[in-house]
Copies of this chain bind each other. A is one copy, B any other.
Amino acid sequence: MTVPIIRRLAALRAKQSDWTRAGEKVGVVPTMGALHAGHLSLVEAAKAACDRVVVTIFVNPKQFNNPEDLANYPRTEHEDAIKLAPYGVDAIYVPDPDQIYPDGFASNVAVAGVADQMEGACRPGHFDGVATVVAKLFLQTGAHQAFFGEKDYQQLLVVRRMARDLDIPIEVVGCPTVREASGLAMSSRNLRLSAAGVKQAGMMHPILTSLAAELAAGGSFAPLGKQAEADILAAGFDEVEYLSLCSAVDLRALETAGGPDHPARLFVAAWLEGVRLIDNVAV
């Protein structure tokens, strides 16, 4: 079964309006395409929870702080549609660029607090771009639920905060990170690694989970984090951009894991073969 591809907002709104009139619950899975098993797990979660599911594919220039990263970002619309076919989604929304940023577009949605550190600090403007485009996609699709992966955990918190703050009537659902057998978090950027790079990148997750276990046992982050950074570099990574222990609720930096009432999370960004990879695990 081929899924209809919609490129114009008016056509999307027409569908959405039929669904809403019928009292159907609509779910949206916002993506930038280059779909992998992680995205498909979000589609499965949406299908299980909603009557109608829209997958959006839009490589959003506003959230790329690095023009080279934008240029290199994989665009695989045909393959994406084939991958989605078995899931019975109701529409793939691949908006023409003027449906998102028409002439004269001048607005920006910014989220303070959870967007300030880590990805927000390393990629200036990134979360403004994310919050702005996701607000638009939420309002364009009129969805009742949106599904995001915990692989981009900070993004999940930013998007959830934005939707609550602007009173967009949508529930933001976080779904577990999907990993390769090695533990490597699925990411469209993995496509840019060599076979050797994929193998080296697979070392990241065991290092993180072992660090998380030591922290959960009461260890202090300063020395343990330093050792883990050394381990990541020894595994073949070129640079660790950050390795942070943060509150899972508000992303404040922590020195020790805070116990069950104050869940903590480990976050990492590191470079390998010119590719920037991120991951995070619960402590």
Contacts and interface: CB of A to CB of B under 8 A. Distances in A.
A108 interface: yes
A109 B162 CA distance: 10
Contacts of A233: none
A161 interface: yes
A165 B113 contact: no
In the complex, which range does the number of interface residues on chain A fall in?
A: 20 to 34
Interface stretch (A135-143, A172-180, A222-230, A236-244): A135-143
Given A108-B112, A111-B106, A140 B161 contact: no
Nearest to A109: B109
A109 B167 CA distance: 13
A91 interface: no
A142 B142 CA distance: 12
A168 interface: yes
Q: Which of A107, A111, A114, A167 has the most CB of B within 10 A?
A: A107
Interface in A4-22: 9, 13
Given A107-B131, A142-B169, 19 more contacts: A9-B167, A13-B169, A105-B165, A106-B113, A106-B114, A106-B115, A106-B165, A107-B109, A107-B112, A107-B161, A107-B162, A108-B110, A108-B111, A108-B112, A109-B109, A110-B110, A136-B167, A139-B166, A140-B167
